[in-house]
Amino acid sequence: MKVREHIEKAQQAKKTLFSYEIVPPPRGRSVKDIVDVVEVLAPLEPPWIDVTSHSSTAFFQENNDGSIQKRTLKKRPGTLGICGVIQNRFKIDTVAHLLCLGFTREETEDALIELSFLGIENVLALRGDAPNFQKKARADRTMNNYAADLVSQIQDLNTGKFLDELEKSEALNFGVGVAGYPEKHFEAPSLKTDIQALKKKVEAGADYIVTQMFFDNKKYFEYVRQCREAGITVPIVPGLKILKSAAQLKSIPKNFYIDLPEGFVDEVQDSPAHAAELGKRWAKKQIEELLDFGVPSIHFYVLNDVHSVAEIVRSFK
């Protein structure tokens, strides 16, 4: 089932969904790492699980002290295969992340055809992290420069328009999500211009938006208001991360270009040994406010803190 269909059914039932995003294990590790995470999430009956993609050397890692670090190691493999394992073993819909930068349009088409073979119906179209994904295409290959271009390519495939003529080819059938930034993308000169870029992605055919993590609900509420004023009508799913340690007060803003509320920062700095409990308490407060606001779904950036996420979601079941 497509994400948009999950959301529409939940809205009809006046129910809020909880979805999750996980990261493939590093090279040399087993898919068991992912299976162990999904086995914790599966009893929560997630409507879908996102699996991130990494084209080059950049990925985020949660360290033993709880800090989050951008690492520069070799490519993390397996997004397509992991989606297939989750969807076919656990019967949970998956959303495969696709990147513009680091992949040619030809590679993207191949990936989408493989995802279709696996029965996967959802993708999240992302530009990718420009400083880390520099890759010059061969003369006979082409690139998508922006997420809106990637969305357009996916929609072309949904109508049976492939890069080359394929004999007896059939149209693909993907739902498409895109990213939104309540505190604006760090490269955008203003929130207004960032929302205009988001609108282009929606006009290209995106079904829904999932936001970057935020810790201040007021910024999400204002973001939704401005998006609606700009004519964006698709669902805007809020993304949350549960603070795990005092070290993340520095690493989260540094890596994700967001601000943390002063009151929350003061609490954690006054009692750093209790940062994990304070983080869970803050997340519960955020969820309560988002539920009152009537959000269609709440999306958790799990990284490797799956047990905290599961504990909080169970409290709302």
* DSSP single-letter state for residue 261: -
Q: Domain limits at 95?
A: 3-314
Burial classification of residue 70, based on how many CB atoms lie within 10 Å of its CB (0-12 exposed, 13-18 middle, 19 or more buried) = middle
Q: Which tens digit of pLDDT belongs to each residue from 294-314?
A: 998 999 999 878 999 999 999
pTM listed for this prediction: 0.91
pLDDT band at 73; cut points 50, 70, 90: very low
The mean pLDDT value for 248-256 works out to 94
At 69 the three-state DSSP class reads strand
Greatest C-alpha distance within the chain:
66
Q: What's the CA gap between 135 and 127, in Å, rounded? A: 13
Domain total of the chain: 1
Domain at 135, CATH number: 3.20.20.220
pLDDT band at 138 (very low <50, low <70, confident <90, very high): low
Q: Is 153 within 8 Å of 205 (Cβ atoms)?
A: no
Instruction: State residue 7's pLDDT score.
Output: 97
Alpha carbons 169 and 162: distance in angstroms, whole number: 9
Residue 69 confidence class, pLDDT cut points 50, 70, 90: low
Q: Are 46 and 317 in contact (CB under 8 A)?
A: no
Q: Predicted confidence band at 235 (pLDDT cuts at 50, 70, 90)? A: very high
Mean pLDDT for the chain? Answer: 91
Q: Assign 66 a pLDDT band (cuts: 50, 70, 90).
A: low
On the question of pLDDT at 168 being above 80, the answer is no
